[in-house]
Structure 1
Amino acid sequence: MILRVQTAEDNTTLRTSRANMSPTVFILLPLLLGVSHALLKVHVEPNVVAAPGATVQLKCLLQEVKDPLDLKDLMILWFTRGIQVAEFDKTITIDKPGMSMSLEALKKGDATLTIQSFSPEHAGNYRCHVFYKSENTMRQTVLSSNVAVTPDPQEGDVALSTCETVLDKKLDKVVDWISKVEGRLAEVTQNCSPKQDKTRAN
């Protein structure tokens, strides 16, 4: 069970423990349940380079939403290295200190993740999962430091053996697979829809 403490000032919740559910569950769940997997238009910056101590904003912007955005139907999940760091599901939940999202920005479809006082330890792949009504999609941003860090070989060996690193590599394969599926779905939709309309007209 996760204890949530909500503050009235910023409508933000800070969890007392890390999220332990794999992001793969959120990616594959709609397919396993047979739910419609429509694709949202979401914009991110593929690569972000930051200086130590800087405030970093990882963009995740909903685009082409037809109706006024209803926060009750919106869920946002931010992951890095296989660990959930932020979530919006009626309230904002922050799992890692020094990160934040804006409720006012979310009302406009802006799910930007802000990192205060960037350090090289923050570098890595960040994945923004967006669920809105019956549609969902995921986009990835690679955050890196503009300062080269020479790791200790012994520390590097330990880092490569961590579960987070292994999971992140597996998620990269899932991301590649999803990108191929999305591309194929878009191609099939574009090629088949005009033919179907023409057949019905005849």
Structure 2
Amino acid sequence: MEQRGALLILLFSFLSPSGAELEVQAPPAHTVTLGSDVTLPCSFSVGPTQVDLQYLTILWYFQDTEILFFNAHGKESEPRVTIREEDAGKGIASLHLAQIRLSDAGLYKCLVIYIPRSHTKEVQLTVHAVPSISELGILEKPMGASMILCSVSRFYPKNISVTLMKDGKDVDYSTLSDYTQNSDGTF
């Protein structure tokens, strides 16, 4: 699938709909929560004319590996990845990813080819996991002091801060234990 994009550009450069212009838009970054479904926006316009699907090819790449190919003759994609075919004629090339994993974070490229032109936009996807917080209990210590034990788990990325509060004020003398990474990549 990788070399097909370069071959299509070369092949299509000899076929040209008259007056075709091409402009592609996509946000440079997108953030999503672990386990959710996401749409990476990518849209295009071909000037004053309507999109003619016979001149259109859409490719999406993740970390320089092709994950979706779409043109008037069909579509190929990786599992969990799709594009709404009916939207292509409206100038929408957005990529839909199901059940986001931590390994889905990284650089995506939307390549739109509208013969003879092509444009690429990059979208950096960041994945976050919302922490789960549970109180484990209160540990009574000698001399009337006590400790509140709580667990913060299933979060990503690692760089979070935890603040204990009582009556709307930060509690002094809180300590964090070492981070432990779970099998799914969260902490």
Q: TM-score, normalised by structure 1?
A: 0.56
Return closer, same or farther for 1:34/1:103 CA change in 2, 3 Å cut-off.
Answer: closer
Q: 2:80 aligns with which of 90, 98, 113?
A: 98
Q: Is the Cα contact below 8 Å between 1:99 and 1:116 reproduced in 2? A: yes
Residue correspondence of structure 1 range 15-34 to structure 2 within 5 A: 19-21=1-3, 25=6, 29=10
Unaligned runs of 5+ in 2: 130-155, 159-179, 182-187
Q: What is residue 96 of structure 2 aligned with on the other side?
A: 114
Alpha-carbon RMSD:
3.0
Structure (1/2) with the larger strand percentage: 2
Shift of 1:40: 2.3
Shift of 1:103: 1.1
Q: What is residue 55 of structure 2 aligned with on the other side?
A: 73
**Partners of 1:92 and 1:114 in 2: how far apart?**
17
Q: What is residue 29 of structure 2 aligned with on the other side?
A: 47
Q: What count of residue pairs does the alignment treat as equivalent?
A: 130
Structure (1/2) with the larger helix percentage: 1
Q: Is the Cα contact below 8 Å between 2:21 and 2:46 reproduced in 1? A: no
**Partners of 1:146 and 1:101 in 2: how far apart?**
23
Q: Which amino acid aligns with 1:101?
A: I
Structure whose CA Rg is larger:
2
Per-residue deviation, residues 43-77 of structure 1 (Å, max 9, x unmatched): 10110000011111111101353111100110111
Q: Secondary structure at the match of 2:79?
A: coil
**Partners of 1:115 and 1:26 in 2: how far apart?**
26
Return closer, same or farther for 1:106/1:34 CA change in 2, 3 Å cut-off.
Answer: closer
Q: Is the Cα contact below 8 Å between 2:38 and 2:96 reproduced in 1? A: yes
**Partners of 1:68 and 1:128 in 2: how far apart?**
20
Percent identity over the alignment is: 23
**Partners of 1:26 and 1:66 in 2: how far apart?**
27
Per-residue deviation, residues 157-185 of structure 1 (Å, max 9, x unmatched): xxxxxxxxxxxxxxxxxxxxxxxxxxxxx
Q: TM-score, normalised by structure 2?
A: 0.60
Unaligned runs of 5+ in 1: 1-18, 153-202
Q: Is the Cα contact below 8 Å between 1:57 and 1:112 reproduced in 2? A: yes
Q: What is residue 121 of structure 2 aligned with on the other side?
A: 139
Shift of 1:92: 4.1
